Amino acid sequence: MDVDLVVSVYEYIDSLDTIVLFSGDSDYLSAITKFHSLGKQVIIYSFAEYLAWELKAFAIKNPRCRYVELDPLRSELELPKSP
C-alpha cells in the first residue's frame, strides 16, 4: 500500500466528502474501511480483472461505497502499443 497516499488523504479528511480510489488492490481495504467509518463516500475504480474480491464485497455491502469497472473504457484508457 502506498502509505504516503493514505497519509495525505488523512491530512485533508475533514474537508473531504468523497474518497476516489483508482486501484483494485486489497491492500487499500483497511484505509477504505476507515474512511467509510468516518462517514465518507468511497468510490473504487478498477478493471474487473484487478478488482480484489474484498474491495468488491465491501462496496456491495456498504452504503456510501461503490465500485466502477473500467472495462468499457479500456480502449480509451490504454496507451497504444508501440510498433
CATH number of the domain encompassing residue 25: 3.40.50.1010
Per the structure, the count of domains in the chain is 1
Q: Residue 48: its pLDDT value, please?
A: 93
pTM equals 0.82
Q: What is the pLDDT along the chain (83 residues), one digit of tens a residue?
A: 467 777 777 788 889 999 999 999 999 999 999 999 999 999 999 999 999 999 999 999 999 999 999 987 777 777 788 87
In a domain, 35, yes or no: yes
Number of neighbouring beta carbons within 10 Å of residue 65:
20
pLDDT confidence of residue 3: 74
Q: For residue 79, is it within any domain?
A: no
Residue 45 resides in a domain: yes
Write b or e for each residue in 42-59: b if 16 or more Cβ atoms lie within 10 A of its Cβ, otherwise e.
bebbbeeeebbebbbebb
